[in-house]
Amino acid sequence: MKLPLQSGHSEVGFQIAPMIDVVFVILVFFMALAAQIRIEHDLRTTLPGVAVASGPTPLVDEQIIRIEAAGEVSLNEESYDSVDSPQLVQLHDTLLRLKQSADAAKVTVVVTVISHPDSLYGRTVAVLNVLAATGIRQVTFTTTEDEG
C-alpha cells in the first residue's frame, strides 16, 4: 500500500528553540558550580600535607617491667618510684600515657613482667594492680629473662 504524497509538506530544518534551552541549562549549571568554588575559596582552608620524617620511628613491640630483689621497679631499664612507694604512681602515669597512645594508634600494648625470685610478692602484686588499673590486658609474667 502506497501512501499518497502530500504536495504541501514543509522541509524539516534546524530547530533553534531546543538548542537555546540546552544552552541556558548548561549556563545555569556552570554559574552554580562557579558560586560553590568561590565559597570554598573564601573559607581559606588548606588540606593537610605530607609530614616528612627524619627517619623511621622505632616502636617497641614489648614493654618490659623488672622487679628487682630490693623492690625497685623499672620499665624498659628506667627506674620508677621509690622502694617505699606502694602505689607506684609514676609507673601508673607512664603506663596510662602508653596505653592512651597505643589506643590512639590502634595497637596493642604487650607487657612482660620479670620478677626477681627474691623480690617481695606484694611488690609484684602492686605492679600487676597498676597494669590492671591502666587497662593493659596483654601481660606475660616470668621470674627470669631468657637470654637468646
Q: What is the pLDDT of residues 25-56, one digit of tens each?
A: 999 998 888 776 655 556 666 666 666 666 65
- Taking alpha carbons only, the member of 76, 73, 87 closest to residue 119 is 73
User: Does residue 73 share a domain with residue 130?
Assistant: yes
Q: What is the pLDDT of residues 68-114, one digit of tens each?
A: 888 888 888 888 777 777 778 888 888 888 888 888 888 888 888 88
Grid cell, residue 94, equals 607512664
Q: Which residues pair with 65 in a beta bridge?
A: 75, 113
Structural domains of the chain, count: 2
The CATH number that applies at residue 138 is 3.30.420
User: Does residue 77 share a domain with residue 26?
Assistant: no
Question: Residue 92 falls within a domain, yes or no?
Answer: yes
Question: Residue 9 falls within a domain, yes or no?
Answer: no
Tell me the residue range of the domain where 114 lies.
63-142
Helix runs in 62-118, H state only? 89-105
